[in-house]
Amino acid sequence: VLATLPAGALSYGEPAGHPVLREALAGLLARRRGVVAGADRVVVGQGVGHGLAVVAAWARRAGHTAIAVEDPGSTPIWELFNAHGLRPVPVPVDAGGLDPDRVAALTGVRLVMVTPAHQFPTGTVLAPDRRRALVAWADRVDGLVLEDDYDGDFRYDRAPVGALQALAPERVVYLGSASKSLAPALRLGWLVAPYALVGELAAQRRYHDLMSPVLDQLAFAELIRSGGYDRHLRLSLRTYRDRRETVRAVLAATRPDWTLSGIAAGLHVVAEVGENAPALVARAAAAGIRVPSLATYATTPAPGVPDALVLGYAHLRPAELTPALQALATV
Amino acid sequence: VLATLPAGALSYGEPAGHPVLREALAGLLARRRGVVAGADRVVVGQGVGHGLAVVAAWARRAGHTAIAVEDPGSTPIWELFNAHGLRPVPVPVDAGGLDPDRVAALTGVRLVMVTPAHQFPTGTVLAPDRRRALVAWADRVDGLVLEDDYDGDFRYDRAPVGALQALAPERVVYLGSASKSLAPALRLGWLVAPYALVGELAAQRRYHDLMSPVLDQLAFAELIRSGGYDRHLRLSLRTYRDRRETVRAVLAATRPDWTLSGIAAGLHVVAEVGENAPALVARAAAAGIRVPSLATYATTPAPGVPDALVLGYAHLRPAELTPALQALATV
C-alpha cells in the first residue's frame, strides 16, 4: 500500500471510508453473506461496537429512546446502548431465536438488535419465518433492525445462513468486523446501511472520530482483493471445526449425559449439564477453568431453556482443549 | 512491530492506548513541549477532533452546556461542540490572544478552548499574564481549559513557547496530533488530562470506538523511540521555514504595503491588505488562487483587527508558492 499510495490519500478523507475498501467490502459481503451491499451503502468503522455506537448516536438524535435486545445476549452491548441514551429492552430467545411477536408487543420500540446467524450466546439460528416477520414488523412501524453478523463466517456443517439484511436492505443495518476473523486490535469493522441512513451515519463520524486510518483500510482492501482474506477464512473455518470436533468428542466420551447445542456454527457451544450450572462454574473456577454459565448473559431465566455452560473453544488448540475439557468433566 | 508483537497484543486492549505509546508520548511531550505528562495522564486517540469529541461527550454528561471559544477560530470545531450539546460562546481575540477577563464575564461557562502557541487563525501567541489568568480562572470556577497545541511544533525564529498545560496540569486538557507533522490520514492523536479526568475520558471510549488500532500505535511509538520522529520534525521545521521565507520575500518585493502577522510560527500567515479583503478573495479565486479572508473564521469583526487574508503555505514548494504569490499580488 505504501509503495503505491498517492500523497493525496494521506490527507483528510471520507468519513464513510476509503472508496477502495468500501468497494472490496461490498463484493466480499455480497459473495460470502448475501448482503445487498453496493459500496455506496458501506460505512467503514473500527468494529461492531463502534458501528453500534454510530447507529445509537444517530438513533438517539432521531428520537429513539429504547431498543429491543435478545435475552440472553451480549451485556456489554446493552451497556453501550444505555450509554447512548437507548434503553435496552430484553426479549427472551427460544429455540427459534428472537420471537418477533414479543418485539411487536413492546410499546414505543422501533429498534431491535439481533444476531441471526448464531445467536449470542445460545447459538440458535433465527428461524426463516421469524426473519420475515421481523422485517415486516420493521416496515410496519417504520423501524430498524440491527444485524450483528458476529459469527456469520463460521458455519461448519453446511452452507452458511445468509444475512437477514438481504430480505429488506432498507430496514436493516448489517454490522460485521475482522475482530473474530483476524484480530480485535486491528480495529477493522464495517456496516451496510439503508440508503436513507448511510449519509447520516457517515456524517455522525465527522463529529466523533472523523475517519478510520487510511493505511489500515487500504491494507485490508488489498488483503480482500488478493484473495488472501478468503483463504484465511477457509483456513480458520477448518481450524475451528477441528476444535469443535475436539469438544464434541471429549464430552461425548466423558459426559454423555450433557447435551450440546449451538454447535453448528461459531466459536462456542452451549452445554446443558443437567444440574446446578452456577455451582459447576464455581467448581470449575477452583480447578483453574474459566467457563461462564448461560444465566450470566440473561436478565431472566429463558422459558424452557435450562441454565447451561457456555464453552468458548476457538482460541485453544486441541492439545489444550482436551485436558481442560477432561478436567471440567471431572469436577 | 509485526516481527516482535506478542499474540496477546492483538486482542482487545486498553481504551487509553497501548502503554508503550503512552510512555513514548509522555517523554516526547515533556521534552518538546514542556507538558507535565506521565504515561498515566495520556489517552491515545485519532486526532485533535477525536480528542475534543471525547472531552465534549464527558463534559456534556458532567453537566456542562457551553464552552468559550476563540473568535475568530476554527468553525468546524464549533460545530463539533454543538453536535455534542455544548454551545460554543465566541470570545474575541486581540494581539495578546484570548482575554481571560472576557471569559470570566460569561455566566455559567466553565470550559474554554484555546490555541495558545499560535492562535488559529490570527497567529498570535497567548500572552504570559493571560496564561496565568486563564488557569487562575479555571481554578476559581472549578473549570477546565482545552489546549489545542495544533502548531506547537512549528516555531521558526526562537525556542518554542511551552504548553499552557505545564502551568496547571489539573486544570488543562492538552491535545495534539500527528495530522500536521505526519499526515491526517494516519489518525494519530493524543491528549494529556488531569488525573481527576483521565480515567473517565478513557472510559468514554469504551462506548464509542473502544480503542485505536494497535499496530498503528506501536509503529508510531517505535518512530518516536528511534528518534525518527524528532528528525522528521526538525526537517519539517526547516522545510516550512524556507516556505515562510518565500512568502515573506515575495510579498516584500511585490506588496510592501501589506502587513504580515502570525509569521513566527505555524503553517500560515495573516496578511493585512489595506483594502476590502473579501473583494480580493473573489478576484484571487477568479485567478485560480484559493485564499480565505480572516472574517471567514469570525462571528463578528474583531475589534481593532482589520479583515485580512489567511495564507496557508506549508503544503506548497517555493517553486509553486512564488508564482501563486506573484499572481495574488497582481490581482
Residues B104-126 have pLDDT tens digits of 999 999 999 999 999 999 999 99
Q: Band of the pLDDT at A304, cuts 50, 70, 90?
A: low
**Grid coordinates belonging to B109:** 461557562
Q: CA A81 to CA A79: how far, in whole Å?
A: 5
Phi/psi of residue A10, nearest 5 degrees:
-90, 0
The answer to whether residue B304 scores a pLDDT higher than 80 is: no
Size of interface A-B (CB pairs under 8 A): 96
Q: Which of A51-55, A240-244, B195-199, B303-307 is least confident? A: B303-307
Cβ of B216 within 8 Å of Cβ of A213? The answer is yes
Nearest to A58 by CA among A203, A210, A212, A187: A203
Q: Which residues of chain B have a CB within 8 Å of the CB of A183?
A: 10-11
The answer to whether residue A300 scores a pLDDT higher than 80 is: no
Q: Please name the amino acid found at residue B128.
A: P
Nearest to A29 by CA among A163, A160, A145: A163
Contacts of B134 (CB under 8 A, 6+ apart): B98, B100, B103, B112, B114, B126, B145, B164
Q: CA B116 to CA B147: how far, in whole Å?
A: 7
**From chain B, which residues contact A within 8 Å (Cβ)?**
9-13, 45-47, 49-50, 53, 79-80, 83-84, 183-187, 207-216
**Grid coordinates belonging to A220:** 485490508
Instruction: Give the position of cell 457517515.
Output: A202
Nearest to A144 by CA among A164, A162, A123, A125: A164
- Contact indicator for B11, B156 with CB cutoff of 8 Å: no
Residues A203-256 have pLDDT tens digits of 999 999 999 999 999 999 999 999 999 999 999 999 999 999 999 999 999 999
Q: What does the pLDDT read at residue B301?
A: 64
Residues B51-67 have pLDDT tens digits of 999 999 999 999 999 99
Average pLDDT for A150-177:
93
Q: Which residues of chain A have a CB within 8 Å of the CB of B202?
A: none
Cβ of A84 within 8 Å of Cβ of B207? The answer is yes
Q: Which residues of chain B have a CB within 8 Å of the CB of A83?
A: 207
* Cα A305 to Cα A45, A72, A92, A293, distances in angstroms: 35, 10, 10, 12
**Grid coordinates belonging to A134:** 421481523
Q: Please name the amino acid found at residue A26.
A: A
Q: Is the peptide bond before A72 cis (omega within 30 degrees of 0)?
A: yes
- Contact indicator for B313, B246 with CB cutoff of 8 Å: yes
Cβ of B210 within 8 Å of Cβ of A216? The answer is no
Average pLDDT for A181-186:
96
The answer to whether residue A303 scores a pLDDT higher than 70 is: no
Report for A129-138, A150-159, A263-272: range of highest mean pLDDT? A129-138
Look at residue A237 and give its three-state secondary structure: helix
Tell me how many degrees the CA angle B324-B327-B328 measures, rounded to the nearest 5: 85
Q: CA A272 to CA A265: how far, in whole Å?
A: 17
Q: CA B296 to CA B26: how far, in whole Å?
A: 36
> What does DSSP say about strands A259-261 and A268-272: parallel, antiparallel, or unpaired?
antiparallel
The answer to whether residue B275 scores a pLDDT higher than 90 is: no
According to DSSP, the residues that pair with A145 across neighbouring strands are A112, A172
Q: Which residue of A has its CA nearest to B48?
A: A209
Cβ of A208 within 8 Å of Cβ of B13? The answer is no
Task: Compute the mean pLDDT over every residue in chain A, rounded to the nearest whole number.
Answer: 94
What letter does residue A296 receive in the DSSP assignment? G
- Dihedral angle, C-alpha A12, A208, B108, B110, nearest 10 °: -70
Q: What does the pLDDT read at residue A151?
A: 87
Q: Which of A218-227, B188-197, B295-304 is least confident? A: B295-304
Q: Is the dihedral of CA A288, A289, A293, A294 positive or negative?
A: positive
Q: CA A175 to CA B204: how far, in whole Å?
A: 22
Select the residue of B79, B184, B210 nearest A50 (Cβ to Cβ): B210
Average pLDDT for B130-135:
98
Q: Which residues of chain A have a CB within 8 Å of the CB of B183?
A: 10-11
- Contact indicator for A194, A172 with CB cutoff of 8 Å: yes
Residue A212, min C-alpha distance to chain B (Å): 7
Q: CA A165 to CA A160: how far, in whole Å?
A: 14
Per-residue buried b or exposed e for A137-153, using 16+ beta carbons within 10 Å of the residue's own CB = bbeeeebbbbbbbbbbb
